[in-house]
């Protein structure tokens, strides 16, 4: 995947079904929408099987333990 953020931004825009000004507003709130998606994510669900999620959680644990 070349640019996961661009892919996520496009997916959020498509899911919003907004056009014109509404779409621009959705795109301007990308950071907030991304944060909301993460909050809603079932961290104990299928995402645990993704290598990228496993790497992220491992790196996060390592970083926190080094504090």
- What is the tens place of the pLDDT at every residue in 39-65? 999 999 999 999 999 999 999 999 999
Predicted TM-score (pTM) of the model is 0.67
Residue 4 in this model has a pLDDT that exceeds 90: no
Q: 18: alpha, beta or left, given left = phi > 0 and alpha = psi -120 to 50? A: beta
- What per-residue confidence (pLDDT) applies to 20? 96
Least Cα distance to 27 among 3, 7, 9 occurs for 9
Share of the chain above pLDDT 90, in %: 90
Q: How much is the CA Rg of the chain, to the nearest whole Å?
A: 15
Name the nearest CA neighbour of 36 among 18, 12, 3: 12
Taking Cα atoms as reference points, which of 55, 15, 8, 13 lies closest to residue 34?
Answer: 8
What's the total number of domains in the chain?
1
- Predicted confidence (pLDDT) at residue 1 exceeds the cutoff of 80: no
Query: What is the extent of the structural domain holding 19?
Result: 4-65
């Amino acid at each position: 995947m070349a640019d996961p953020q661009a892919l996520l931004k496009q997916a959020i825009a498509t899911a919003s079904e907004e056009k014109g000004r509404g779409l621009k507003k959705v795109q301007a709130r990308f950071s907030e929408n991304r944060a909301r998606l993460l909050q809603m994510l079932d961290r104990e669900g299928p995402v645990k099987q993704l290598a990228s999620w496993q790497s992220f959680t491992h790196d996060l644990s390592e970083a926190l333990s080094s504090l």
